[in-house]
Amino acid sequence: MAKVEFRNLQKAYGDVLVIQGVSLDIADGEFVTLVGPSGCGKSTLLRMLAGLEPITGGTIQIGDRIVNEVAPKERDIAMVFQNYALYPHMNVRDNMSFALRLKRADKADIDKRVQRAAEILGLEPLLDRLPRQLSGGQRQRVAMGRAIVRDPQVFLFDEPLSNLDAKLRVQMRAEIKELHQRLTTTTVYVTHDQIEAMTMADKIVVMRSGVVEQVGPPLELYDKPANLFVAGFIGSPAMNFLKGKIEANATATFVTESGVRVPLHDAPVASDGMLAVLGIRPEHFVLDAARGAPAEIIVVEPTGAETQVNARFAGQQVTAVFRERIDSKPGSMIPLALAPHMAHLFNAETGKAMN
Amino acid sequence: MRTLSTLLFRIALWGSLLLILAPVGWVMLTSIKPTQISQALPPVWNFTPTLQNYFDVLGGNTYTSQHFGTLLLHSIVVTVASTALGLLVGIPAAYALARIKFPGKKGTATWILSTIMFPPAVSVVPIFIVASKLHLTDTFPVLIVPYAVFGLPLVIWMLRSYIKQIPFEIEEAAMVDGASQMDLLRYIVFPLLMPGIVAASLLSAMLAWNEFLFALTLTRSAAKTASVGISEFTNMYGTQWGSLTAAATVTVAPILVATMILRRRLVEGLTFGAVK
Amino acid sequence: MGWGLMSPAMILLLLMTVVPTLYLFYYAFRHEDLLGPNSYWVGFGNFTRVLSDPNIWSDSLSTLQFVVLAVAVELLLGLLLALMLSRKIAETNLLTALFILPLGVAPVVSALVFRVLLDPAYGWVDYYLQTWGLIDQPIDWFGQPVFAWIAVIALDVWQWTPFVALILLAGLQGMPGEPKEAALLDGANSLQMFWHIILPFLKPFIAIALVFRIIEAFKTFGSVFVLTGGGPGTSTSLINLDLYRIALQNFDVGAAAALGICFLIVLSVIMSRLLSILGRNTDILED
């Protein structure tokens, strides 16, 4: 196990700068997720860490050494690929033992390690099968087994669950998390699914267009997003955004474009009339006949545990999530108000959080 | 109605098959007929099959200038050697074209493919002259090298397609697992390329085994192949049907069987990357 | 590194294409006396001789005629065969294996067999055609240009239609089912299905079969040489046969070289058109 450090990492394809100066610290034993939309550079970053992509600028450090010029096989890392990349012509046992056989390790040792990994992942009955005889979930586990057997300093995961169906994905998420708790190996995990990031990571790194937008523990990113992008990316259903401006008088108020007035409990540092965006998470809407503004229901989606309501509020469509059942039909009006202290304010120009 | 149309369809299909295979059937039939009746008209259908023709052909007991069995041996040597040579130079080239970036790659690849347009009838003249001057005519190498080259464009393109079919991720996984370039080729690429190698070998072997012009022009006796030998069963003395058909069967049989078994692979190699 | 791996193959290829071409250019401008010392420069003499020979032009036409006719018939029959073989009846696999047989027979052997079978005196074809009352007299297959042509085309078609069928069959078998199902639901009949759904999907495969067959057809030598020898007269003489005759029977190396160069030039033009067809219809040339 080891720590990983990125210092001012850059990657260019020709003239295009895909990774623009990323610096990151990953502590020993930490589970870090790289999230972001397609093309944000997260996979590129992972592959640079693996040594599968050359580095244009900056340094990568694994443990105590800088590994920029070190070949993948010397970096003591193991990687689980999106499409598993199992060796089709080898059975499960040979797939998992390949790396050790290349090193001419002691046969008894190899068998022991393969056996242990197979036990952890429930692969024992499958050891003599070929990859094409396995289901998606089983192949996924073999790919992980291959990584575990190596007992490396760092585990790398490149969107490993993307090709699994929803139910399997939920199950594997928990298994991977449990694996990490058991093995405590430093893990870098790439995904585009923010739920995976939230549930599995010790620390999330949100990326967009080759730049790190925010780094922090899941709940910190959830409760205190640093900018509009992170606020909208983390959390499902996504945060609602209301455009408007700030009236910075005695009682700071946010006025939406349609005129709805929202008193701000924590006065932001802002000039009067400044354009801003109010962010409010779906679960932070409350039904308040007294304080609330009328919202017209468009769609009601009961999921059993909660009720999701799409409504027209303050001139635009918002999504609200309630624990209680809502009986109202589409077309009827409900009084929506914002829970106190739950609003996020963002500078309309820079997108940065203001409170 | 459905079954009637299916029945008619089957009749049409099997009927055309019979028609197509008639020449092949004739060859095999005539090869086991005693020579006295093989050329008889109307054709004799009631006879005791005999392997005499085969014994004659393989035992050298025919009117041709040379022992056919020897010619078969020559064909085998030339075919195996040229196929091996083709693979030896073709596999690295295919790998380079499939995986490695280097300047001029696209143009080179296209040029290689375009060389199959070069008619042997055109290149045989200079090669014959050069070979004569170097006293290399009627030797094995003078056929082995050209045969290897005849198949090379197709071999390279086929293998290139097969290599591209191997997901690069697998090679990356092996690299992360600690494989060197040699390890990669030996444990990953080569085993996975086996079907492609088999298909390419068959194609190359077919081209070499069946080749006629170069063998006719560049060999006399020491390296003469079966293709040329067969054509000599028809000469000014008439045609020995029995010997001809027996020799034909023996010459054709190996490639025939291989083609039937490996027909899917053969086409696979040629149609990879077909669909846009 | 890339060029390192490429070099052995490149050397061999250059050896068999560029080197002979250079020799051709050398000999084309000379009168070459292979057996004695009387070789001398003749400038464009060989070219004018070759290009003013009416036989050469008629043989060029023959070559073109051969390629066009043979390939066209092979494509049509091959498509028909592939369509029939793609129907799912029990014996499809066996049938396919059997239909492939002609492909595995050496062209020289097929030519010999055809030659023997078409012999007017002893051949079974004329014999059975007469016995079944379809003709009165044996057809002199090799004595009349029309019949010789039929024989030559028939041989090529017999030999190579399975190849075309195999390629098209691969295309048909790889075809996804959904477009066909959607068309059925939209009310398409068999003909419409074929024309609008199946045929467009087969385009890349047709392109491949077309390109490879045309290339190979232009290189045909052995089968025609053995079947008709270019006869009767020169009616079925292809350029390849002319090259052989001029160089290795007349020993007129200069003329053969000149003819060879002209042929190569024409073929290069044709080849580039074929490559562009391949490039437009398939992904084969993509990196």
The full set of domain ranges for chain A reads 4-233, 240-347
Distance from CA of C5 to the nearest CA of B (A): 5
**pLDDT recorded at residue A103:** 86
| CB C196, CB C203: distance < 8 Å | no
Average pLDDT of C189-214?
88
Q: Specify the pairing of strand A186-191 against strand A154-158.
A: parallel
Burial profile C93-113: b = 16 or more Cβ within 10 angstroms, e = fewer = eebbebbbbbbbbbbbbbbbb
Q: Which residues pair with A313 in a beta bridge?
A: A316
What confidence tier does C119 reach under pLDDT thresholds 50, 70, 90? Answer: confident
Highest mean pLDDT among B67-71, C112-116, C124-128, C131-135: C112-116
Given a cut of 80, whether residue C260 has pLDDT beyond it is yes
The burial of A89, by beta-carbon neighbours within 10 Å (0-12 exposed, 13-18 middle, 19 or more buried), is given as: middle
Report residue A122 as tokens: 């429930």
Given a cut of 90, whether residue C182 has pLDDT beyond it is no
User: Residue ranges of chain B with pLDDT lower than 50?
Assistant: none
- Is the sign of the CA dihedral B244, B250, B251, B253 positive or negative? positive
**pLDDT recorded at residue A327:** 83
Residue C13 near chain B (CB below 8 Å): yes
Residue given tokens 């589970």 in the structure block: A31
Distance from CA of B17 to the nearest CA of C (A): 6
What confidence tier does C99 reach under pLDDT thresholds 50, 70, 90? Answer: confident
**pLDDT recorded at residue A113:** 92
A204: amino acid identity, one letter:
I
Q: Which residues pair with C149 in a beta bridge?
A: none
Chains that touch B (3 or more CB pairs under 8 A): A, C
Q: Which residues pair with A311 in a beta bridge?
A: A297, A318
Residue given tokens 């419409």 in the structure block: C192
Nearest chain C residue to B128, by CA: C248
Which pTM does this prediction carry?
A: 0.83
State the CB neighbour count (10 A cutoff) for residue A263. Answer: 12
The minimal CB distance from C260 to the residues B116, B122, B148 is found for: B122
List pLDDT tens digits, range C4-22. 888 899 999 998 999 999 9
Given a cut of 90, whether residue C94 has pLDDT beyond it is no
Inter-chain residue contact C284 with B161, CB threshold 8 Å: yes
What confidence tier does C89 reach under pLDDT thresholds 50, 70, 90? Answer: low
Distance from CA of B106 to the nearest CA of A (A): 19
Q: Within the 223-252 window of chain B, which residues sit less than 8 Å (CB to CB) from chain C?
A: 227, 230-231, 233-234, 239, 241, 244-245, 248, 251-252
The burial of A15, by beta-carbon neighbours within 10 Å (0-12 exposed, 13-18 middle, 19 or more buried), is given as: exposed
For chain B, the three-class secondary structure string (H helix, E strand, C coil) is: CHHHHHHHHHHHHHHHHHHHHHHHHHHHHHHCCCHHHHCCCCCCCCCCCCCHHHHHHHHCCCCCCCCHHHHHHHHHHHHHHHHHHHHHHHHHHHHHHHHCCCCCHHHHHHHHHHHHHCCHHHHHHHHHHHHHHCCCCCCCHHHHHHHHHHHHHHHHHHHHHHHHHCCHHHHHHHHHCCCCHHHHHHHHHHHHHHHHHHHHHHHHHHHHHHCCHHHHHHCCCCCCCHHHHHHCCEECCEECHHHHHHHHHHHHHHHHHHHHHCHHHHHHHHHCCCCC
Angle of CA points B154, B157, B162, to nearest 5°:
120
- Euclidean distance between CA atoms B151 and B139, whole angstroms: 20
| Cα distances (angstroms) measured from residue A333 to each of A311, A325, B113 | 9, 15, 72
State the CB neighbour count (10 A cutoff) for residue C51. Answer: 13
**pLDDT recorded at residue C43:** 81
Distance of CA A43 to the CA centre of its chain: 13
Contacts of B234 (CB under 8 A, 6+ apart): B244, C112, C115, C116
Candidate CATH numbers 3.30.70.380, 3.30.70.100, 2.120.10.30, 1.10.3720.10; the one for domain C54-251: 1.10.3720.10
Domain ranges of chain B: 67-225+255-271
* Three-state DSSP state, C251: coil
Nearest chain B residue to A151, by CA: B177
Contacts of B68 (CB under 8 A, 6+ apart): B57, B58, B60, B62, B226, B229, B247, B250
| CB A305, CB A340: distance < 8 Å | no
**pLDDT recorded at residue B65:** 67
The minimal CB distance from B274 to the residues C107, C208, C239 is found for: C208
pLDDT in tens, chain A (355 residues): 689 999 999 999 888 889 998 999 999 999 999 999 988 999 999 999 999 999 999 999 998 899 998 888 889 999 999 888 999 999 999 999 999 998 888 899 999 999 999 998 989 999 999 999 999 889 999 999 999 998 899 999 999 998 888 888 998 899 899 999 998 999 999 999 889 999 999 999 999 999 999 999 999 999 999 999 999 999 989 999 998 888 877 677 888 888 888 877 776 677 778 888 989 999 999 888 888 888 899 999 998 899 999 999 888 899 999 998 888 889 889 888 888 788 888 888 888 888 7
Distance from CA of A161 to the nearest CA of B (A): 16
Chains that touch C (3 or more CB pairs under 8 A): B
| Cα distances (angstroms) measured from residue A51 to each of A57, A144, B182 | 14, 19, 18
Of the candidates C86, C106, C111, C109, the one whose C-alpha atom is nearest the C-alpha of residue C96 is C86
Instruction: Give the DSSP letter of residue A238.
Output: P
**pLDDT recorded at residue C259:** 92
- Comparing C57 with B263, which gets the higher pLDDT? C57
Please count the residues of chain A.
Answer: 355
| Cα distances (angstroms) measured from residue A171 to each of A34, A44, A220, A223, A302 | 20, 27, 25, 26, 24
Burial profile C12-32: b = 16 or more Cβ within 10 angstroms, e = fewer = bbeebbeebbebbeebbbbbb
Helix, strand, coil shares of chain A as percentages rounded to 5?
Answer: 30, 35, 40
- Euclidean distance between CA atoms A225 and A233, whole angstroms: 10
Please, do chains A and C touch (3+ CB pairs < 8 Å)?
no
State the CB neighbour count (10 A cutoff) for residue A30. Answer: 19
* Three-state DSSP state, C254: helix
Q: Testing the interface with B: which of A89, A103, A104 to mutate, by most B Cβ within 10 A? A: A89
State the CB neighbour count (10 A cutoff) for residue B44. Answer: 13
| CA torsion, ordered C29, C32, C38, C41, to nearest 10 deg | 0
CATH number given to A4-233? 3.40.50.300
Report residue B74 as tokens: 């020559």
- Euclidean distance between CA atoms C132 and C116, whole angstroms: 20
- Euclidean distance between CA atoms A295 and A310, whole angstroms: 10
Q: In the CATH hierarchy, which fold is given to the domain comprising B67-225+255-271?
A: MetI-like fold (1.10.3720)
The minimal CB distance from B170 to the residues A78, A85, A103 is found for: A85
Residue B37 near chain A (CB below 8 Å): no
* Three-state DSSP state, C41: strand
Ramachandran category for residue A39: left, alpha or beta (phi over 0 → left; psi -120 to 50 → alpha):
left
| CB C129, CB C135: distance < 8 Å | yes
**pLDDT recorded at residue B238:** 64
> Following DSSP, what letter does each residue of A85-130 receive, concatenated?
---TTS-HHHHHHHHHHHTT--HHHHHHHHHHHHHHHT-GGGTT--
Average pLDDT, chain C: 87
Residue B175 near chain A (CB below 8 Å): yes
Given a cut of 80, whether residue C196 has pLDDT beyond it is yes
State the CB neighbour count (10 A cutoff) for residue B11. Answer: 10
**pLDDT recorded at residue C90:** 67
* Three-state DSSP state, A263: strand
Inter-chain residue contact B270 with C208, CB threshold 8 Å: yes
Report residue A210 as tokens: 């080759």
Contacts of A340 (CB under 8 A, 6+ apart): A265
ipTM of the complex: 0.87
- Euclidean distance between CA atoms C145 and C230, whole angstroms: 10
Report residue A203 as tokens: 């620390």
**pLDDT recorded at residue A47:** 94
Please, do chains B and C touch (3+ CB pairs < 8 Å)?
yes
| Cα distances (angstroms) measured from residue B98 to each of A318, B80, B115, B157, B191 | 52, 26, 19, 9, 16
Instruction: Give the DSSP letter of residue A353.
Output: B
Report residue A108 as tokens: 């008894």
**pLDDT recorded at residue B220:** 85
* Three-state DSSP state, A2: coil
Edge to edge, the sheet with strand A4-13 lists A16-26, A4-13, A57-62, A65-66
CATH number given to A240-347? 2.40.50.140
Contacts of B190 (CB under 8 A, 6+ apart): none
- Euclidean distance between CA atoms B251 and B222, whole angstroms: 18
